[in-house]
């Protein structure tokens, strides 16, 4: 076919940050957008596509198997937990992401949630809007502790974790981290002691999560984990909802073991009421937008479009997340070059 098709199947208007349609056109690509109602509809929309630009919709083995022309997937973001990577690799499909477009934004958002929870800013705002002008020393606002001098425990010390560490250290927090995939030398360069999770939890006043959803991390914040934290600690999650066992979190909040939580992500999104965690005044929710800024979305648009063009040209994308596919004879990207 003469048409080199690039598709997005989650909105009629295309992805929120947009694509550089002109760049794609100059490299022989045509864009198609549509809102698929189910996987069968997604397969129909993506028929003959060489590249799928993917948001958060699951991309399965069945979908990949039904699209013989598909060469690559480019994720709009960092996480690839919605993509069946094993299936993509086995079928010779390259998968790329944008790993560094929003490190500053997510770190800033995590810091904002820390302030919102520890200073009870969201609670004070709600009460003030209802005309309940609560004096600062009123029991409903206590306890509030000075942030400086507290210990921030980071689970995950990648780009986002390191950015948050720098900001937190500037505010006088002590920062420690757990990251089994990071070398001690890299942690030392960031000025953050690297500990086991068992060592980190009892020292932590504020636990902030910065890991993807994997078999290793799913449900890692659970009853046992929360019980190991300092009494009165708070939890911040700007990573992925499935990392936290929400029933265990609700129980820890109800018992008073935890002093609060700031959550940008949930196990099921969007937040649907009634929800057990929504009953707690000391929980602050935001709607999975920690990565958002004009600057980060411009970077995402550029990097997604450029990697889409690389795939159309038969080149491996810059941020390939399944590099094993390069060595496989069934690699579709190299199929036309043999």
50 is catalytic: no
**Given 240, 301, 319, 332, which residue is catalytic?**
240
d(CA 48, CA 1): 8
32 is catalytic: no
| Of 290, 258, 286, 292, residue with least CA distance to 116 | 286
- Which pair of structure tokens corresponds to residue 170? 């500037």
Backbone angles phi, psi at 183, to 5 degrees: -75, 155
**Given 210, 288, 301, 332, which residue is catalytic?**
288
- Which pair of structure tokens corresponds to residue 19? 């694509």
**Given 62, 132, 269, 315, which residue is catalytic?**
269
SS (H, E, C) 269-305: CCCCCCCHHHHCCCEEECCCCCCCCHHHHHHHHHHHH
288 is catalytic: yes
d(CA 152, CA 206): 5
d(CA 225, CA 75): 31
| Of 198, 220, 199, residue with least CA distance to 209 | 220
Active-site residues: which are they? 240, 269, 288
């Amino acid at each position: 076919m003469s048409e080199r098709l690039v598709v997005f199947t989650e909105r009629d208007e295309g992805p929120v940050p947009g694509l550089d349609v002109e760049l794609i056109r100059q490299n022989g690509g045509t864009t198609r957008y549509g809102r698929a109602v189910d996987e069968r509809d997604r397969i129909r929309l993506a028929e003959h596509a060489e590249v799928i630009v993917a948001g958060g919709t699951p991309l399965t083995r069945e979908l990949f198997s039904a699209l013989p022309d598909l060469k690559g997937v480019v994720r709009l973001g960092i996480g690839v937990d919605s993509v069946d990577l094993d299936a993509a690799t086995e079928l010779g499909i390259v998968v790329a992401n944008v790993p560094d477009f929003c490190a500053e934004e997510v770190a800033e958002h995590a810091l904002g949630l820390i302030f919102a929870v520890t200073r009870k800013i969201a609670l004070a705002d709600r009460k003030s809007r209802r005309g309940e002008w609560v004096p600062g020393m009123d029991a409903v606002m206590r306890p509030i502790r000075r942030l400086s001098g507290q210990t921030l425990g980071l689970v995950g010390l990648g780009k986002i974790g390191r950015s948050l560490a720098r900001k937190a250290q500037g505010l006088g927090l002590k920062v420690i981290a757990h990251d089994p995939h990071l070398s001690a030398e890299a942690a030392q360069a960031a000025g953050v002691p690297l500990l086991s999770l068992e060592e980190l939890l009892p020292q932590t006043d504020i636990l902030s999560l910065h890991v993807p959803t994997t078999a290793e991390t799913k449900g890692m914040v659970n009853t046992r984990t929360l019980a190991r934290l300092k009494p009165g600690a708070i939890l911040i999650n700007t990573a992925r909802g499935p990392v936290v066992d929400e029933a265990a979190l609700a129980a820890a909040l109800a018992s008073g073991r935890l002093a609060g939580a700031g959550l940008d992500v949930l196990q099921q999104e969007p937040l649907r009421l009634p929800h057990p965690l929504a009953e707690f005044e000391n929980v602050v929710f935001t709607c999975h937008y920690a990565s958002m800024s004009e600057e980060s979305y411009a970077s995402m648009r550029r990097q997604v479009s450029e990697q889409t063009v690389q795939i159309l040209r038969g080149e491996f994308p810059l941020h390939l997340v399944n590099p094993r596919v390069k060595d496989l004879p069934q690699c579709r990207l190299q199929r036309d070059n043999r």
